[in-house]
Amino acid sequence: MTIHKMKNIYFLQTCYILLLLCSFGCSSENKVVLIAKAEIPSRNHDLSYTPYDAKFDNPNYIICDSTGISSGRNRLQYIGGTNKLRKDITSKYVYRPDYEPFTGYIVIRFLVNCEGQSGRYRVQSLNLDFSPSNAPSDLLNHTTEIVKSLDNWTKSAVNGPKKEYSKFINLKITNGKIQHVLL
């Protein structure tokens, strides 16, 4: 792949993410997505702000410093790189026919604490125009469980203070199948 094509792909991914972030801040609704196995809240608020919710979050998940949470786009990496992260997600995804009616985005937001452990998962489904949508609850649960199983997070700079990071994983779904994993 040429450098020009790589830059175009990176630019398009960045545009998708910016549009998704704008959609989180533009809605005034706070809602909870009900999922078959467990409820995972979906709330619209600041990028790094993910308050503890006793109904959804593991009480043993520790945040070292909630005042210094950073976006993980460039500072938080998946061991093995982004291609391995995409492969890990797509290889664990199991298509089911009841997912087929859904076309849009599933955005899974979570924190990675100072010890490299992930938690406080939030999920939202969006139409292709980035308006809120209703994906099948089993699909939301399945994709969130996949992201929860990813435990190879590390910060890009080894030296420096330990801190928390917020991370978004965006899945573009077409007819119930993952078309793109946008990071």
> What's the pLDDT score for residue 68?
72
* Mean pLDDT of the region 172-181: 97
* Long-range own/partner contacts, residues 157-160 (CB < 8 A, 24 or more apart): 157/75
- CA pair distance 70, 166, nearest whole angstrom: 6
Q: Which residues of 139-159 are buried (b: 16+ CB within 10 A; e: fewer)?
A: bbbbbbebbeebeebebeeee
Q: What is the mean pLDDT of the chain?
A: 78
> What's the pLDDT score for residue 128?
95
Cβ–Cβ under 8 Å, residues 122 and 110: yes
Cβ–Cβ under 8 Å, residues 39 and 55: yes
* Long-range own/partner contacts, residues 50-58 (CB < 8 A, 24 or more apart): 50/109, 50/110, 50/111, 50/120, 50/122, 50/166, 52/120, 56/121, 57/119, 57/120, 58/119
> What's the pLDDT score for residue 98?
96
pLDDT band at 43 (very low <50, low <70, confident <90, very high): very low
Least confident of 8-22, 118-132, 148-162: 8-22
Most confident region among 47-51, 138-142, 153-157 by mean pLDDT: 138-142
Q: Dihedral of the CA atoms 19, 22, 26, 30 (nearest 10)? A: 100
* Mean pLDDT of the region 99-115: 93
Tokens 């976006």 belong to 71
| pLDDT greater than 50 at residue 63 | yes
| pLDDT greater than 80 at residue 160 | no
- CA pair distance 100, 132, nearest whole angstrom: 18
Most confident region among 37-41, 57-61, 69-73 by mean pLDDT: 57-61
> What's the pLDDT score for residue 72?
57
